[in-house]
Amino acid sequence: MTERKRIIVGVAGGIAAYKAATLVRQLTEAGHTVRVVPTESALRFIGAATFEALSGNPVHTGVWDDVHEVPHVRIGQEADLVVVAPATADLLARAVSGRADDLLTATLLTARCPVLFAPAMHTEMWFHPATVDNVATLRRRGAVVLEPASGRLTGADSGAGRLPEAEEISTLANLLLERGDALPYDLAGVRVLVTAGGTREPIDPVRFIGNRSSGKQGYAMARVMAQRGAEVTLIAGNTAGLIDPAGVDVVHIGSAAQLSDAVAKHAPDAHVLVMAAAVADFRPTEVQTNKIKKSADPDAAAPVIELTRTDDVLAGAVRARTDGQLPNMRAIVGFAAETGDANGDVLFHARAKLKRKGCDLLVVNAVGENRAFEVDNNDGWLLAADGAESALEHGSKTLMASRIVDAIGAILQSGGG
Ligand code: CTP
């Protein structure tokens, strides 16, 4: 469990207000003290009793409610984090102009902690120049304004403007608490290609060779980069039922060959390639068209599956850049899952791999019992081609992603690659 923090969940008046209940539940279950501050119109969509029951704290909307016991200034002052979900176009506009005509806007004015807005509105409202300007102003002032998800809105409408899933909002809320500062919006205009998850190499129509990658680290990379303003395409292999990150184009693939083709298709446009996928090094040479049956004779020899090497996608991308085929590419990031052995420790193997692969950054995880694969928390090292090495502090995979993205941002700033 993370350290207990004081979180204010502001809820504005949109149909997505009901989803704030799940968010409150997730944040309280993570061990935080949560106080819900809805607007008057939010309470037209969901009752105060729901929020009181889920947070265990009283719910007020106005600065005049219970004046003697609701310290409308202290609520903001004492918060470790304010999350507004959903943030409507109206709420964003009021936050920009510094209004304090209800408890939520008063709280936003007095808060000195990180503030996260999760917008939800109709697509037209989201893309209206007034909202676009308001979002830019809030980001310039240091608030984190999430990219909304795309998909079905109220009624028959669909497009950008959906509230991201509660799990995504709470993941990013926890990231801000872990970082202790806001997430910079520093990757606008940067096109990123991320691969994540494990590949599956078919043996026959029902069997495959797979691996234990959950895709969590790669999804966290895609999510953090999108929320820092990048245009992200995520090539996703098999993952443990992860939700697609909001604002990210997701391309689902199966085998290493499909992953390789997808990278070849998208890499020429990309400025950054992040190879977090666990790509199979070998595939069955022949894929049987019919299911392999076992013999009725228990002593009969078991089938032997011949394997063939797959392409090394990361090394291929580095080669293509050297050959001038990826003129946009400014940073190539590889991942290494290592165990030490008789020849050397984890870092010894990682340094050799960085040289062999020729990428700009290598993220190194020590793997073994309950480490790196399928778990939520992790740590590791970041090795750069110029010899710089740093430890990645223990924390969520989202925190790790945000530190790796800090390093990618530094490469982009230095005009590197
Ligand atoms: N990778 C790749 N194509 C492959 C295998 C790996 O692009 N066919 C990429 C992974 O996405 C990762 C990096 O290479 O970014 C390192 O993967 P890893 O499996 O640790 O390295 P290998 O080259 O397979 O080395 P080894 O298994 O011998 O340690």
Q: With cut-offs at 50, 70 and 90, classify the pLDDT of residue 14.
A: very high
Whether residue 335 has its Cβ less than 6 Å from ligand 1? yes
Q: Which two tokens stand for residue 8?
A: 């204010």
- Rounded CA gap, 384 and 392, in Å? 13
Identify the pLDDT of residue 185. 94
Structural domain spans, the chain: 6-179, 191-414
- Rounded CA gap, 250 and 239, in Å? 12
> What is the Å distance from ligand 1's center to 336 Cα?
7
Give the sign of the dihedral formed by CA 65, CA 69, CA 71, CA 76: negative
Whether residue 310 has its Cβ less than 6 Å from ligand 1? yes
Q: Which two tokens stand for residue 16?
A: 């997505």
Checking if the pLDDT of 41 tops 70, the result is: yes
Mark the binding-site residues for CTP, compressed into ranges. 281, 291, 335, 353, 357
**b/e burial code for range 316-340 (CB count within 10 A of at least 16 → b):** ebbebbeeeebeebbbbbbbbbbee
Residue nearest to atom 18 of ligand 1 (CA): 336
Q: Which two tokens stand for residue 226?
A: 């999108």
Identify the pLDDT of residue 124. 95
Q: With cut-offs at 50, 70 and 90, classify the pLDDT of residue 370.
A: low
pLDDT tens readout for residues 217-258: 999 999 999 999 999 999 999 997 899 999 999 999 999 999
pLDDT tens readout for residues 142-176: 999 999 998 777 777 778 899 999 999 999 999 99
Residue nearest to atom 4 of ligand 1 (CA): 312
> What is the Å distance from ligand 1's center to 401 Cα?
19
- Rounded CA gap, 248 and 230, in Å? 9
Checking if the pLDDT of 373 tops 90, the result is: no
Mutation choice for ligand 1 from 335, 339, 341, 362, CB with most ligand atoms inside 8 A = 335
- Rounded CA gap, 42 and 231, in Å? 32
> What is the Å distance from ligand 1's center to 181 Cα?
33
Which residue(s) pair with 383 in the sheet? 362, 389
Q: Is 57 a catalytic residue?
A: no
Whether residue 279 has its Cβ less than 6 Å from ligand 1? yes
Residue with tokens 């819900």: 36
Active-site position among 211, 238, 365, 378: 211
Whether residue 334 has its Cβ less than 6 Å from ligand 1? yes
Identify the pLDDT of residue 1. 47
Identify the pLDDT of residue 278. 97
Q: Which two tokens stand for residue 403?
A: 């530190």
Asked whether the beta carbons of 390 and 406 are under 8 A apart, the reply is no
Mutation choice for ligand 1 from 314, 351, 408, CB with most ligand atoms inside 8 A = 314
What's 310's DSSP letter? P
Residue closest to 83 by CA, chosen among 130, 131, 19, 137: 19
Say what the alpha-carbon torsion angle 46, 175, 110, 121 is, to the nearest 10 degrees.
-40
- Rounded CA gap, 365 and 56, in Å? 40
**Integer CA distances (angstroms), 188 to 52, 138, 266, 314, in order:** 39, 15, 18, 25
Residues 100-115: what's their mean pLDDT?
Answer: 96
Cβ neighbours of residue 249 closer than 8 Å, sequence gap 6 or more:
232, 233, 234
- Let me know if the fold of 6-179 is the same as that of 191-414: yes
Which residue(s) pair with 151 in the sheet? 159
Identify the pLDDT of residue 72. 78
Residues 364-381: what's their mean pLDDT?
Answer: 76
Which residue(s) pair with 344 in the sheet? 341
pLDDT tens readout for residues 314-351: 999 999 999 999 999 999 999 998 888 999 999 999 99
- Rounded CA gap, 352 and 339, in Å? 13
DSSP 232-261: EEEEE-B-SSPPPPTTEEEEE--SHHHHHH
Whether residue 213 has its Cβ less than 6 Å from ligand 1? no
Write phi, then psi, for 310 (nearest 5 degrees).
-95, 170
Residue with tokens 């691969």: 195
Checking if the pLDDT of 372 tops 70, the result is: no
Identify the pLDDT of residue 71. 73
According to CATH, the topology of domain 191-414 is Rossmann fold (3.40.50)
Q: What average pLDDT is seen over the chain?
A: 94
Query: Looking at 44-53, 61-70, 187-196, 345-354, which range is the least confident one?
Result: 61-70
Whether residue 312 has its Cβ less than 6 Å from ligand 1? yes
What is 6-179's CATH number, 3.40.50.1950, 3.40.50.12240, 3.30.460.10, 3.40.630.10? 3.40.50.1950
Can you say how many angstroms the Cα of residue 369 is from the centroid of all Cα atoms in its chain?
25
